[in-house]
Structure 1
Amino acid sequence: MDAAARLAAYFKTHPANIGKVVDFDAGAHRLYHFDFTAANHDLDADTFSDTVKFSRWVNKKLSEHDCKYGVGGYLEHRTIYARSAHFDTDDEPRRLHLGVDIWANVGTLVYSPLDGIVHSYQDNNNFGDYGPTIILQHQLDDLTLYTLYGHLSRESLDGLYVGKSVSKNERIATFGVIEENGHWPPHLHFQLIFDMQGKLGDYPGVCRYSEKERYQQNIPDPQLILKFPKAVNG
């Protein structure tokens, strides 16, 4: 049984061990599905290359569909990353998104969905990067899992130290403003990782499409934890 199957089996037999990542209430809130692929002709280069315009576009979609939260992104091939040289490499640009993005207002609370400890953290302060980032480590019987939280507020890093204990449903962070979060509309990049491969405070959230299979083995679908219902399409 591979790691992803073992993780799914653990969550199936220990459902009470899974908490929340944000204050999403399936009975009260609607989710909007954001599509950042080339198939979305509603989002042009002029909009997504300008963070202020991009933020207005995101907020307009959420408002129009009466959604408090937007979601999307796991293994999505995103043309949007052309906005940042951070994702361009000489041979093949990085465009495949490896986590799930949760879009909501600045200051939205972020929680640890599992008991664990702080593995590492840092401010990845490049245009288009994560900005303030926290990585937690969780021991699920004999399986080690890491959860990554990107695009946070800088104050989210205050008081942290490696090895600090966190509990399920404990508040750990808030969504950051554009000037702090890597210059994105406010959102959370949430990602699951089996092997940090020696990295601290950072791990790729976007890869080359040719690397999809290799990364998919190390990065399972965050929906295993989020368990979000089907989102509303525009």
Structure 2
Amino acid sequence: MLISAVLKKYQSTFHPVIKLKQGEKIASLDLSAKNAELTEDIFTNTPSFIQFIESERRKANAEYLAGGYNELRSIYGKSDLFSGEEPRRLHLGVDFWGNAGTPVYCFLGGMVHSFAFNDNDGDYGATLVLLHQLDGLAFYTLYGHISLRDIDAIAPGQYVSHGQEIAHFGEPHENGNWPPHLHFQVIADMELKRGDYPGVCKFSEREKYLANCPDPNLILQIME
């Protein structure tokens, strides 16, 4: 059975990855090249990018902004990490933008697969990968741009439980120099990678990567 079908089957049992207090809401955020308000001067300067995100949150009267799966973005021009003859621009996860320190919860029990501090400009920074299983099907979830303290005292093979607090939104100095947010990604096959997996791909490789990284909203259930 495909991972998407299994996730749909168990949706009602998943714990929220981000908890909302009463009155709080999540609004959608478009960071595609279509967003003319997000200029290169803004996204290449971390303080300016933070101000932009805060302004968008205020305008939406939202505690969090979210979106980005299968979104073609210009913002990766901020870092050489995504450059090349064909630059990587297609986003493979969902981003939650909010305050540094925001808790992140385990939607489903599992175990720590791997973790790393991917300390390049524009990279994930502190990163956690969990291994899960449903109906005999193994799959993974990746949590990028988290706090370094979240990966300080864990070990591969360590169990995590449904609803457990597992991470927090990191500060720019530990999250790859981005405004505080969580990158949440579902991965069918880690391809022998540990503590890292592409969160952005070349458009020419879109079909391959989207097949291996199904829509995180199957778990999050926050976007219509």
Partner residue, 1:153 = 147
For residue 74 of structure 2, the aligned residue among 71, 79, 82 is: 79
Structure 1 residue 29: Cα displacement = 2.1
In the alignment, structure 1 residue 69 sits paired with structure 2 residue 49? no
Aligned residues: 224
Within 5 A, what are the aligned runs for 1:35-54?
A: 35-54=30-49
Q: Is residue 33–residue 73 contact of structure 2 (8 Å, CA) maintained in 1?
A: yes
Measured against aligned partners, the alpha-carbon deviations of 1:96-119 in whole angstroms (never above 9, x if no partner) come to 000000001000001110000000
RMSD: 1.3
Structure 1 match to 2:207: 213
Identical aligned residues as a percent: 46
> Structure 2, unaligned stretches of length 5 or more?
none
SS in 2 for 1:43: coil
* Equivalent residue for 1:173, pick from 167, 172, 177: 167
Aligned residue number for residue 58 of structure 1? 53
What amino acid is the match of 2:154?
L
1:147-184 CA distances to partner (integer Å, 9 max, x unpaired)?
A: 00000111111210000000011001111101110000
- Find the aligned partners of 1:217 and 1:61 in 2 and give their Cα distance: 31
Match of 2:16 among 20, 23, 39: 20
In structure 1, stretches of 5+ residues that fail to align are none
Question: How far apart, CA to CA, are the structure 2 residues paired with 1:3 and 1:31?
Answer: 26
Runs of 4+ deviating beyond 4 Å: none
Q: How far apart are the structure 2 equivalents of 1:147 and 1:3?
A: 12
Residue matched to 2:3:
3
Equivalent AA in structure 1 for residue 157 of structure 2:
G
Equivalent position of 2:119 in the other structure: 125
CA distance in 1, matches of 2:153, 2:52: 34
Q: Is the 8 A contact 2:6 2:135 kept in 1?
A: no
Q: State the TM-score, normalized to the length of structure 1.
A: 0.92
Specify the code of the residue in structure 2 equivalent to 1:42.
Answer: E
Q: Distance in 2 between matches of 1:3 and 1:151?
A: 25
TM-score (norm 2): 0.96
